[in-house]
Structure formats: C-alpha cells, structure tokens
Structure 1
Amino acid sequence: MHRVSRLFYFKHVLEDGRCPQISSGELSRDEIDARKYNGAKESDRHIQMKEFVVASLAADSLFSNIRVEKRWTDTLSGDWRQPDVRATYNGIEIVFEIQLSTTYLDVIVERRRFYQREGGLLFWIFADFNDDCRRLLQDDVFYNNNQNAFIVSGESAAASVHANEFLLSCAWTEPASSNGISPLRRAMVSFHELTLNIVKQQAFFFDYDAAKNTLIHANLTAMSKLRDRFEAAWISTVDEPDRIGTKWRDFRREFRAVGFFLPIYQSQLHAILINALYSAKHGKVIGWKYTRFIEVAHRIATGHKPYLHIFRIALGVYKRGEQLISEDKSGRWNIRVKAYKAAIKQEDPEYAGDETHYDLLRFLLPELFENLP
C-alpha cells in the first residue's frame, strides 16, 4: 500500500491492462475518483438505462442530434467530458448522465461546473430514487436541482414511445410549514413541462424554492398578524389582566405553532418588562398610573436595572430621546443617565442584562434585535 497526497490506494503487482484502474504513477484525487466513476459506469444496468433514454428521446420530435458516449471538448482548455447521452432541445445542448452510484460526489460537482462553463445543461437520470437517495444526495444532485430528481425506466420509455414525447418519472419534495419537507411526491411528467435553467444547472418540475418563498412570506404575514393581535390584546387589557386570561390558551397555541412559547400562566410573564417596552414603542404610559412616559424610564432605571439594557435599545429604536428631553423639566433624567452610564462602564453587576425573556421578545418586538447577535 502506498500513500500519495494523504490518499491510500492499492498498487497492482502487474499492469497488464486487465483492470481499468491504472495504479502506477501518482494520481490526483480527482483523477482517481474519475477513473473509479468511469469504471463503475458500464454495468449491464447502465447500458440498459442508456437505451431507455435514447428510445425516449428518439420518440420526441423536439429532440435532435442524439449522440451516445460522444466527447464534449472545451476548445479553450482542452478539457473534455463524455456524457452518456447528448441531444439538442430547442437550441439547448442537453447532456444526460445516468447516476447509479452515490459515491463520487466530487466528480459530479466537477461535471456540473464543466457544462455550466460550456453553456450546456447537465441532466441527471436515476434508475430509481427513494428517501435514502435523497438523504445521500441532498447536498448535491437533488438539493442543487431544486429538490427534483428524474427517473427513467422501461415503463417510462414505453410510455414515451406511445405518447411521442419524452416522459419520465419525477420525484420531488415540498416545503412544510414547520420548517421541514414533505415525503417524496411522484408523478409521470413530460420533459416539455420542466423549467430549464442553464445558469443554475437546474431542470425541475416542481419549483421548491418558489414554494418555500411563498410559504415563508405566508408565515411572516401570519406571524405579523399574531404579533399585532397579541399587542392589541395586551394593551387593551393592561389595567384588567384577567380579561386576556380567557384568550391566553389560544395565544399559547398560536405562538407554539410558529415556534415561540408563552408560559402556562400569564402571571409568569414579567408584565413590567412588556409594559416598559410597549410604552417605549408607543411613547406613552402602558401599565402604570403615571402621566408621562419619562416616569416609566425613571422606574426602569432605578427599580428594574437588569431591564435597562433592552429598554435603552428600545429608546433608540423608537427614537424617544427627544421626548425624554422635552419631558425632563427638572433635569433629573439627565443626571440619572450620567449615573447609570458610569455604573455600566464600571461593570456594576446590578446592571447586568436579564435575557430571560429574550426569545419571546424577539417575536413580539423583532426590531429591537436587528443589530444584536
């Protein structure tokens, strides 16, 4: 056993041409993988798969110049690839590669880059595709192809000949509302129904990315409406907290559905913090009998110092500086600001921020956290 570039391999005792793997000399990782890949290609199943693809293409008049195992050479660099099947479709050069192995992903990536540079479209064909294939290939063929995979078989080839168009089975996933994905969906589709993107090297039937963006937008809209309803309910019942109690269970369920959690009982949520931040947002007193907003600021700065950090952020985000200055007739707030800034600079532990409710606050008031880690 020899070691070259940190890669172990076995060397033949005699290089007599019987084995396609030539082990003499120093080969790079790419060369070794490419030789392994090519050596694995010509199985009986691989030959049969090429026949299925060619029969399907030949049945469809929109495909022309069908070639099998013909080199594609880069005229500038001299690099070349030899796709399983190549054909012209609506002026686009499409190369069909049959994927029977899940091992040689670096070779797969390089082939994709080659055809991307050359202006062709690499189209992967599977003999079968299941959830195991999806997991093994999620970072490459399946994931990069907008989570679509295409399967050609004797059945699909016969259907193509009967329909006079290239039909193939498509397997895809759909985004789920809980940040997950659906089980594999399947359908027999026409090649003409696919979206082809040479720049991204994608060919897909179901647009996973578009569906995910739509779902994200819908979730954001639903979250925004829930956030607004909670805020309105909180403010309208702040003087009579028992009134929101009848809705608390419903709010807990709705919050949980979007990944945030309210405590079992409303009393477990520190109302002083929520009231102070809503007061800063609206520039008025919420939750106290005070008459001016500056009194809320004094209350937090003196009686609830662990909340001062997030409260100061709220003052900045909601631009309450001018309001505090105008309400500070006695100058006491200015003196207090200088005092707490000095204490914070000295790392006074009384002013250590309390982040207990930050997860919930990120939902209720996300604007406060836009510049926080």
Structure 2
Amino acid sequence: MSVRNMKSVFMPEDDKYLDANEYLDHCDDDDFFKFRRRIEESRKSNPIALCDVCYQAVVLRGTTDRTKYFAHPKNSEDCPIKVTSQFTVDELLAMQFNGKKESRAHREHKNLIAGIIRKDTLFEDEVAIEPTYREKHSFGVAKRWRRPDISAVYKAGNQNVVFELQISTTFLDVIIKREDFYRENDTYIVWVFLDFDPEKFTSLDISYANRANAFEFDDVAKDKSLKEGRLFLTCHYRVPHQNDDLTIGYKWDSVLADFSELNFDHLSKKIYAVDTEAILANVKQDIADEKKNRAEMARLKKIQDEEVQEKIRLIIEDERERQRKEQELRLSRLRDTNRTSNTSAFDKQSTRNSYANRRSSSISSSFASASGVSKSFGDTRLCTNCGVRETPRKIRSALFCKNCTYAFDQ
C-alpha cells in the first residue's frame, strides 16, 4: 500500500496548495532535503507546510526504498487521513538507531579517532570522549546539555570542535537540534560517517546542509591517519557541472584531507572541504555566458546565412540576365541571318525573273517584228490547252497562249 496518504499540502506563506505527488515525483535531492529541513526547523514555531485536511503542521519522510512522502508528526492530533499502526516507520528507525548508538563499532571508532586527535599537533592535547557539553549564556547557568562523541580544541583560532559519529539513521529533528545547540555555543560540529551512503536520507540531511559535504572515516582515511599521526577524513561532496545541453548535472566525488586543508564556516559553525556553492555559482555563470555566446553565434550565423542567400539570389539573377541577353543575341543573329537569306533569294529570283522577262520580251519583240504585230497587253490567263498561266500574246485583236499558241476566247 502506498505511504502517500496526504495528496495535498497547504503552504501558508504562499497561500496556495502544493500537489504532493507532483512535487515529490519531480523535485531533485537538493530541493527536497533543503525543504525537508525548512519544514522541520519551522514546524513548532511557524509551520510552513500544513495538512490540507486538518491544517496541522506536517513533515517530510522517506522509506527505506527512498519513497518520499508528507506525514503527520508523531503525537499530532487526530486527522481523517492518518494511518494508525503499532509502530510508525520513524519509530522503527529510532529503535534501530538507539540500538546501534553504543554498538561495538561505534565505541571502537570513537576511541580510535580520539586517540588520533590526541597525537595531531593541530589540536590541543586535551581531547574528551563523550563529555557533558554545557550550554554557555550570560548568567553562566546550564539549562541544556549535549553529550558529543568527541570534543577537542583546534589550535588555529582556538576553535571548539565536536565530532559526532554516524553509523545509522538519525531523525532530522535530532540533527537540527544538535547543530543549533553547538552553533549557539560557538562550537563547530563535524558529523563523521563510518559508512557514507549518498542514497540514505540521514547522509543527505547532513551533507546538503553543509555545502553538500560529508565526512567519512573509511579505511583510506584510517590508514593515512595512523601512518601520519594526524586526523585525515575522506570528504564526499556533490559537485555540480555543466551538461552539453546547458543544464546543471551533479555527481559525487571525494577527496582525502587533514584539518589544515578544511574550511570553517563561522556562521553555520560547520566545517567543509569543498565549496560546492561557489562551484555552482561558477557553473551557472558559465552556462549563462555560454547561452549568451550561443545566442550571439546563432545571430551571426543567421546574418551570415542571410548574406549567403542574398549572394546566391544575386548570382542567380545575374545568370538569368546573362542567359536572357544571350538568347536575345541568338534570336537577333537568327533574324539577321534569315533576313540576309531572304534578300539573297529574292535577288536571285528577281534576277531570274528579270532575265526571263527580258528573254520573253525579246522573243515577243522578234515575233512581233516578224509577224508585224504589236506588243502583248493585258492580264495573265490560264491556258486550258497546255495548263500554263502567262500573259497572252495579242495579235491585233486576238489573244494567244505564248506557250502553245492556243487562241483564247474573247
């Protein structure tokens, strides 16, 4: 059965309702764990997330398979959507943590780390294991106390530092209360994992609140510490990077460092190795610059493409104009050639006709002279006898065919 009984959450700061499934299915880890912390920090004084049925403050939880869900806190008032059972998931996790807090592995590593710190020249000689760490205030009266696993003083700046070993799941509200207590008492807190798992909520609750840094005392750190006689820790950090599509990607990386290489955050009273927030700011700036560069390149390419298209258009127009002129020239030459041919043919035909006319005239003259008749006059006629059309020869008042001397009817 799904653990998501709460389908919607009311956000009083924004005066709107948040779709639980939509948010939890699409939020990334950074957003989720920061929101989870904000809800827990403000839950008792000024809650920022309320059940949309009973309007009580809610919390963000997760199952062992990392299913995220909104839930009512333990011991909250009754609500129609609450699921009642003998033990809640959080109660089971609490029993598991309480059983491991004083386990053999926890005690052995606590004593080992304390012994290494005592040899480390970066720390004062006095190192306490599970001391009662009393609250400081103006009246010098202790009303609260915490028992850290290890307490020491870092020589540089005379800084009080406590080490809390993490070997199992711890409630987020417990983590927040411890961090608040030490910050208020001007003491730096270092959460040390003996088995860091970036898939566990406790690991991420602690790391995301510390610039995505988490310290682990693994075999590599242990061997280096024992060999060098000073404390080394493996720092796991979630480093942002730029993807090819100009989105931000993340991956976990690690570095081995001693305390001289670590950074102290004076406001949060936490210690970190890698400033992932600064890296993220640089990545965002790089992405912004790259987007700007790509936009400019796209603009220039568009201009270049338009210029190329214009050049191509002009070349095509010039070629068409050249072809048009060539075609006109060919047609002009063809007309001139035809005109010359026609004139020559006409001249030849005229010459032949002139010669024929002269010959015919000569014959007619001779015939007329011999016959004593005058020149022929009149229009041409078709001779029905020989089929030749010619101007008939006129002898006195009679008309004859020049070809066969056939006498035409008058």
TM-score range, shorter chain: 0.5 to 0.7
Q: How does 1:1-373 map to 2 (within 5 A)?
A: 4-6=75-77, 40-64=100-124, 65-76=126-137, 78-90=143-155, 91-133=158-200, 137-138=203-204, 140-153=205-218, 156-178=221-243, 179-238=247-306
CA shift digits 1:104-135 (9 cap, x unpaired) = 111001111111111111100000113323x6
Amino acid at match of 1:137: S
Aligned to 1:289: none
Q: Once the 2 structures are TM-superposed, how far is the Cα of residue 157 of structure 1 from its aligned partner?
A: 3.5
Contact map agreement 1:145 1:201 (CA 8 A) in 2: no
Q: Once the 2 structures are TM-superposed, how far is the Cα of residue 37 of structure 1 from its aligned partner?
A: 5.3
**CA spacing shift, 1:162–1:231, aligned 2, 3 Å:** same
Q: Once the 2 structures are TM-superposed, how far is the Cα of residue 167 of structure 1 from its aligned partner?
A: 1.1
**Aligned partners of 1:33, 1:79: CA distance in 2, in Å?**
25
Q: Once the 2 structures are TM-superposed, how far is the Cα of residue 100 of structure 1 from its aligned partner?
A: 1.4
- Scaled by the length of structure 2, the TM-score of the pair is 0.48
**CA spacing shift, 1:46–1:218, aligned 2, 3 Å:** same
In terms of fraction of residues, the more helix-rich structure is: 1
Amino acid at match of 1:230: A
Contact map agreement 2:194 2:216 (CA 8 A) in 1: yes
**CA spacing shift, 1:197–1:233, aligned 2, 3 Å:** same
Q: Once the 2 structures are TM-superposed, how far is the Cα of residue 54 of structure 1 from its aligned partner?
A: 0.7
Q: Count residues with an aligned counterpart.
A: 222
In terms of fraction of residues, the more strand-rich structure is: 2
Amino acid at match of 2:275: D
Q: Once the 2 structures are TM-superposed, how far is the Cα of residue 196 of structure 1 from its aligned partner?
A: 1.3
**Aligned partners of 1:73, 1:171: CA distance in 2, in Å?**
31
Contact map agreement 1:84 1:98 (CA 8 A) in 2: yes
Give the SS at the match of 2:120.
Answer: coil
Contact map agreement 1:57 1:66 (CA 8 A) in 2: yes
Greater alpha carbon shift after TM alignment, 191-200 vs 181-190: 181-190
**Aligned partners of 1:82, 1:34: CA distance in 2, in Å?**
18
- Scaled by the length of structure 1, the TM-score of the pair is 0.52
**CA spacing shift, 1:116–1:42, aligned 2, 3 Å:** same
Amino acid at match of 1:163: E
Aligned to 2:404: none
Q: Once the 2 structures are TM-superposed, how far is the Cα of residue 137 of structure 1 from its aligned partner?
A: 3.4
Q: Once the 2 structures are TM-superposed, how far is the Cα of residue 102 of structure 1 from its aligned partner?
A: 2.6
Amino acid at match of 2:284: I
CA shift digits 1:160-184 (9 cap, x unpaired) = 2321221122222211213444443
Greater alpha carbon shift after TM alignment, 56-65 vs 151-160: 151-160
**CA spacing shift, 1:126–1:177, aligned 2, 3 Å:** same
**Aligned partners of 1:9, 1:114: CA distance in 2, in Å?**
33
CA shift digits 1:205-230 (9 cap, x unpaired) = 22211111111111111111111222
**Aligned partners of 2:259, 2:108: CA distance in 1, in Å?**
20
**Aligned partners of 2:101, 2:228: CA distance in 1, in Å?**
30
**CA spacing shift, 1:56–1:155, aligned 2, 3 Å:** farther
**Aligned partners of 2:202, 2:164: CA distance in 1, in Å?**
18
**Aligned partners of 1:221, 1:233: CA distance in 2, in Å?**
18
Q: Once the 2 structures are TM-superposed, how far is the Cα of residue 194 of structure 1 from its aligned partner?
A: 0.8
**Aligned partners of 1:6, 1:137: CA distance in 2, in Å?**
30
Amino acid at match of 1:227: A
* % identical aligned pairs: 25
**Aligned partners of 1:61, 1:31: CA distance in 2, in Å?**
42
Larger Rg: 2
Give the SS at the match of 2:254.
Answer: strand
**Aligned partners of 1:116, 1:36: CA distance in 2, in Å?**
28
Amino acid at match of 1:5: S
**CA spacing shift, 1:33–1:131, aligned 2, 3 Å:** closer
Aligned to 1:283: none
Amino acid at match of 1:111: R
| Higher RCO structure, 1 or 2 (CA under 8 Å, sep 6+) | 1
Give the SS at the match of 1:184.
Answer: strand
Give the SS at the match of 2:113.
Answer: helix
**Aligned partners of 1:241, 1:102: CA distance in 2, in Å?**
66
